Amino acid sequence: MISLKALTKKYGDHAAVDDLTLEIKPGAVTGFLGPNGAGKSTTMRLILGLDRPTSGVALVGGVPYHRLKEPLRTVGALLDARAMHPGRSGRAHLRALARSNGIAVGRVAQVLEMVGMEPAAGKRAGALSLGMSQRLGIAAALLGDPEVLMFDEPVNGLDPDGVRWVRQLMRSLADEGRTVFVSSHLMSEMQLTADHLVVIGKGRLIMDAPLPEVIARSSLTAVVVRTPYAGELAVRLAAAGGEVTRTGESELQVTGMAVERVGDLAHEAGVRLHELRTREASLEQAYRELTESSVEYGVRG
């Protein structure tokens, strides 16, 4: 588990991370979202002890990262796929990490096979493509068989097969009961991969909720109803607290009310339905609504 308690990081008067409190729990893929400059990378660096917080704490498995004796056995991370000696081979890079963390060197061959890097393991790291560097970085994160895994934009540079492989890997790691924390700007991929979402903007927490709840809160998520008695049902739904829009002679759009509640009210009123379904917003649409006031760097208009 990753625990953040009032975590704050300031650079002068600017708070890159501002009083962030949350828990990243095991057994789920938690997506970490936010606009450019929101503080995602800084938060991950604080968790890994690469930056020192101004105040508050970041704990991994209940202790600060710098107190872990063999950190790769507790947490594996990929923050920068190019962060390795360019003249060293991928295999040598992993062996050095293994020796420094008391991990059997035989584990290197296992993780290279897991990420499909065996054929290229003898190449210098500086000669690898971005996609292959990502695979090598993931191998390093898996090296200590840790319970906590953190990935920052892990599918950058990967082809479609590689993206699908990363998605399946994240899911399998979470299914094993591990804590998986993934930062990404690819909303479509997060919608396919994540169970839970943490959204931040300008360093502050905006949302910490299961993925379905984030989407359900969007104003673009609605219940669509088609019935010959649209006018009668509209009055009934509005009286029960739904926001109802007449979108056709026999069609209604209802927000602020679950599809099951709409169906129950129609049944109680004796109204025959020809269609009843939920029209969900995409994660991208829900995300844009959540972060609309938190975008610092981007094109307006």
Residue 260's CATH number: 3.30.70
Same-domain pairing of 84 and 33 = yes
Same-domain pairing of 140 and 73 = yes
Gap between the Cα atoms of 141 and 46, Å rounded: 17
Domain boundary among 210, 230, 263: 210
Residue 248: domain span: 222-279
Question: In this structure, what token pair is assigned to residue 170?
Answer: 């994240």
Same-domain pairing of 226 and 92 = no
| pLDDT number for residue 300 | 47
Domain boundary among 159, 175, 210: 210
Average pLDDT over residues 117-140: 89
User: CATH code at 178?
Assistant: 3.40.50.300
Report pTM.
0.84
Same-domain pairing of 62 and 25 = yes
Same-domain pairing of 10 and 138 = yes
- Per-residue pLDDT band for 297 (boundaries 50, 70, 90) equals low
Does residue 69 come out as left (phi exceeding 0), alpha (psi in the -120 to 50 range) or beta? alpha
Does the residue 300 lie in any domain?
Answer: no
Does the residue 298 lie in any domain?
Answer: no
| pLDDT number for residue 295 | 67
Does the residue 289 lie in any domain?
Answer: no
Does the residue 215 lie in any domain?
Answer: no
Gap between the Cα atoms of 221 and 216, Å rounded: 6
Structural domain count of the chain: 2
Structure confidence by residue, pLDDT tens digits, 52-83: 999 999 999 899 999 998 899 999 999 988 88
Does the residue 216 lie in any domain?
Answer: no
Same-domain pairing of 178 and 268 = no
Same-domain pairing of 149 and 78 = yes
Same-domain pairing of 58 and 175 = yes
Tokens 């890159």 sit at which residue? 16
Does the residue 217 lie in any domain?
Answer: no
Bridge partners, residue 15, by sequence:
10
Same-domain pairing of 246 and 196 = no
- Per-residue pLDDT band for 117 (boundaries 50, 70, 90) equals confident
Does the residue 45 lie in any domain?
Answer: yes
Does the residue 67 lie in any domain?
Answer: yes
Same-domain pairing of 84 and 202 = yes
Orientation of helix 90-100 relative to helix 106-114, angle to 10°: 130
Same-domain pairing of 72 and 135 = yes
* Helix, coil or strand: residue 30: strand
Q: Which residue has the higher pLDDT, 280 or 26?
A: 26
Same-domain pairing of 85 and 141 = yes
Structure confidence by residue, pLDDT tens digits, 181-215: 999 988 989 999 999 999 999 999 999 999 988 98
Domain boundary among 187, 210, 233: 210
